[in-house]
Structure 1
């Protein structure tokens, strides 16, 4: 089981607006190449929550899952938990807090593919892909993003921006 935490700071977007933008998951495929599709719908089993069906590019093929997304606007928090899909276990949280005129976003996910023999190979790759993908998504969603406390992800984001600009 792997726990991934990524913190991003933005000066371009205040906390309330960031929370609204982050929760529009259906926009992510147009912003991030590795996100192939996201379908968002109401969830009759969880009143007040949404269901989102994700397909992302991972290694040499698609990774798919469905999750329940629970929005807590008073706390600027979105929790999510896989209901079915390619993970054995997948749940986490988006938390937004004010930071001056901007905001700080904390993304945390705990996941397990449920394949012990490949855990040492798949989970580190998935961690890297998740962190870099979320950092890039937040940059697109918020208008700017500075990775906090993770130089490797910060460097990967800068490299992606340089490649995209070229």
Structure 2
């Protein structure tokens, strides 16, 4: 299992507005060439939503369906793949306001665990998938938020096995 974290300061957004933009999956294809299509299905009784994704991934496309849980009280979106090209793909988006050097800033954190499900090629494919996922998320955040500043180096990736 691999973990990818992308954390940015959204310079032009409040935490509440950042959360609202992240929740609007239908707009993602308009904002970045990395997302081809997102189909959002009607909400379930508990407020969760199923969404179907087609995303540019290196020289091909990745497709999956995920269950999305929105938690407006904590400005969090949790997601977990139901079926698709990953063996495992789950994670969260969290928007929060922090005080840094006397100024309140909006920090957006994307965190995911994934497993491509190809153990024999994991050593070769996982680093490429990590890099591509980080790049895609950063492009999505730039499209959604406007100007963003990366808080940690792009290679801040924690690798785990399990």
Same-fold call, TM cutoff 0.5: yes
What SS class does the counterpart of residue 128 from structure 2 fall into? helix
Q: Looking at secondary structure, tell me which structure has more helix per residue.
A: 1
TM-score (norm 2): 0.88
Higher relative contact order (CA 8 A, sep 6+): 2
Secondary structure of the residue aligned to 1:18 is helix
TM-score by length of 1: 0.86
Structure 1: runs of 5+ lacking an equivalent? 154-166
- Note the residue ranges of structure 2 that are not aligned, 5 or more in a row: 157-162
Q: Is the 8 A contact 1:11 1:101 kept in 2?
A: no
Cα drift, residue 111 of structure 1 = 0.4
**2 CA distance for matches of 1:151 and 1:138?**
14
Offset from partner CA, 1:84-115 (integer Å, 9 cap, x none): 00111110000010134540001000000110
Q: How does 1:49-60 map to 2 (within 5 A)?
A: 49-60=48-59
Is contact 2:58–2:132 with CA below 8 Å preserved after alignment? no
The answer to whether the 8 Å contact 1:87/1:111 transfers is yes
Q: Distance in 1 between matches of 2:58 and 2:36?
A: 13
RMSD over equivalenced CA pairs, Å: 1.6
Q: Residue 159 of structure 2 aligns with which residue?
A: none
- For residue 34 of structure 1, report the CA deviation from its aligned partner: 1.7
In structure 2, the residue corresponding to 1:9 is in which secondary structure? strand
CA deviations on 1:62-89 (whole Å, 9 max, x unpaired) are 1100000000000000000000001111
Measure, in 1, the Cα distance between the counterparts of 2:155 and 2:126: 17
Partner of residue 93, structure 1? 92
Q: Aligned-pair distance for 1:146?
A: 0.4
Tell me what 1:117 maps to: 120
Look up the match of 1:66: 65
Number of the residue aligned with 2:37: 37
